[in-house]
């Protein structure tokens, strides 16, 4: 006989799904490369779609490339309970980032169906398109798409091969002309839940398999382009050079020093991509573009660092005889999880006597985009050594199962009570 503390989810089925998905775009034995809207990504989408349909969900792929599986509620006009994450990856990524959020959501909803529970409101399990932003250098595409947060020019962004996002969408059978149809109307999404690996070392340091997320740091993504003058590497005197790479190197090193000024602060800064033109050992670099990623929970501190960066760019450009431009790719303030959902998640963990430490999320997730249209909550699963975006990324089957069990019990509670909706008493 099943007790209240026994698991409802099927750990074996969940892990089989995770391992099977990891074989699509597999690299380096344990890693994956499923860049958004590539054949590997779409193969993964088709596989997850088949699992959704096998579980009893109706499915569709919208104009943004999002895969959506729907379980009807007793009251179809109630705002949706949306659950999900993403299955696209970094070019040298791990098999758990995003994937456990989609497959854990599917497992939780399939367990609801098997328990004979029909939710009060519709539930949608969603695999968002291009959360990572690694191909077109701007993420959360699918989640920003359905919430009407896309910006001008996004369809013309190019990958490293010159393919635009528009072309990639169309190659996958998605029509940007239908974007308006795929945008959710205001108020139609009631709540959003996301299960994700932590991608950091905090839970492991606390010896905790699962954690409760309290909010997401505000990311600022910039692309800096510095321009100088090319010349022969052997004949132009050092004092007469306008070396864009030397100037960029000074900026990058100084930026790293800036974000380390307060060791106890949660501020992080990264330069993750750099391009050099003409990219020859015998030519002084004429143009360099590099990305800057600055994140903090304290907007005052983040704004101060951004101001210091702009002053630094002025000084270095003047010293090396360069010009520069800065493009803002992403800019969001910190977003906090809803207290009401956090309370339900705590209660779900209490049911299985699972301590649930609280922590902030440095990485952003699709929940960041959803936070602008509905209340959201997140559950983190412990990451071994805090490693992510790397083939050695690992979360144990036991930890993933515990996180999914908490997700299941949270969903069950929300879909029976209706949370904040009093329109339809149970």
Enumerate the known binding-site residues for Zn(2+).
86, 97, 132, 196, 389
Q: Is the dihedral of CA 35, 39, 40, 44 positive or negative?
A: positive
Count the neighbouring beta carbons within 10 Å of the beta carbon of residue 35: 21
**Of 215, 198, 210, which is closest to residue 408 (Cα–Cα)?**
210
- How far apart CA 341 and CA 367 sit, in angstroms, is 13
Q: Where are the alpha helices (H) located in 199-298, listed in sequence order?
A: 202-205, 244-259
Which residues, 6 or more positions from 423, have their beta carbon under 8 angstroms from its beta carbon?
75, 78
Task: Give the side-chain half-sphere CA count within 13 A for 363.
Answer: 21
- How far apart CA 227 and CA 215 sit, in angstroms, is 38
Helix axes 99-114, 39-55, angle to 10 degrees: 10
- How far apart CA 62 and CA 146 sit, in angstroms, is 9
Q: What are the counts of helices (DSSP H) followed by strands (DSSP E) for the chain? A: 12, 17
Strand, helix or coil at 376?
strand
Cα separations (Å) of 60 from 6, 144, 192?
33, 18, 19
Rg of the chain, C-alpha, whole Å: 23
Phi, psi for residue 383 in degrees, rounded to 5: -110, 130
- How far apart CA 160 and CA 151 sit, in angstroms, is 21
Residue set of the binding site:
86, 97, 132, 196, 389
Q: Is the dihedral of CA 228, 234, 235, 240 positive or negative?
A: positive
Phi, psi for residue 254 in degrees, rounded to 5: -70, -35
- How far apart CA 176 and CA 63 sit, in angstroms, is 6
Strand, helix or coil at 186?
coil
């Amino acid at each position: 006989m099943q007790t209240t503390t026994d698991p409802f989810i099927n750990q074996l089925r969940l892990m089989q799904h995770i391992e099977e998905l990891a074989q699509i775009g597999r690299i380096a034995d344990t890693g994956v490369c499923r860049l958004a809207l590539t054949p590997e990504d779409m193969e993964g989408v088709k596989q997850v779609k088949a699992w959704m349909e096998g579980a009893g969900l109706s499915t569709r792929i919208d104009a943004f490339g999002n895969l959506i599986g729907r379980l009807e509620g007793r009251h179809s006009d109630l705002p949706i309970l949306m659950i999900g994450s993403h299955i696209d990856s970094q070019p040298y990524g791990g098999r758990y980032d995003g994937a456990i959020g989609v497959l854990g959501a599917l497992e939780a909803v399939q367990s609801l169906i098997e328990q004979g529970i029909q939710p009060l409101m519709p539930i949608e399990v969603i695999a968002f398109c291009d959360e990572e932003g690694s191909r077109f250098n701007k993420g959360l595409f699918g989640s920003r798409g359905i919430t009407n947060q896309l910006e001008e020019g996004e369809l013309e962004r190019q990958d490293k091969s010159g393919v635009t996002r528009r072309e990639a969408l169309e190659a996958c059978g998605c029509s940007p002309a239908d974007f308006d149809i795929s945008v959710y109307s205001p108020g139609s999404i009631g709540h959003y839940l996301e299960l994700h690996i932590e991608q950091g070392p905090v839970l492991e340091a606390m010896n905790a398999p699962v954690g409760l997320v309290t909010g997401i740091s505000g990311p600022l993504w910039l692309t800096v382009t510095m321009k100088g003058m090319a010349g022969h590497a052997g004949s132009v005197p050092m004092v007469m050079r306008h070396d864009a790479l030397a100037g960029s190197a000074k900026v990058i090193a100084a930026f790293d020093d800036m974000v380390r000024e307060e060791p106890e602060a949660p501020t992080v800064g990264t330069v993750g991509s750099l391009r050099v033109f003409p990219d020859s050992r015998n030519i002084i670099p004429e143009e360099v573009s590099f990305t800057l990623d600055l994140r903090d929970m304290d907007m005052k501190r983040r704004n101060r660092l951004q101001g210091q960066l702009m002053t630094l760019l002025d000084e270095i450009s003047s010293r090396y005889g360069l010009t520069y431009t800065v493009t803002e790719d992403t800019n969001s303030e910190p977003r906090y999880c809803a207290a009401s959902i956090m309370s339900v998640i705590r209660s779900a963990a209490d049911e299985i006597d699972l301590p649930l430490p609280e922590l902030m999320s440095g990485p952003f997730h699709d929940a960041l985009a959803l936070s602008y249209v509905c209340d959201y909550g997140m559950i983190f699963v412990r990451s071994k050594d805090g490693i992510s975006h790397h083939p050695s990324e690992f979360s144990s089957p036991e930890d993933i199962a515990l996180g999914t069990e908490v997700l299941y019990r949270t969903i069950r509670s929300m879909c029976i009570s209706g949370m904040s909706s009093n329109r339809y008493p149970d």
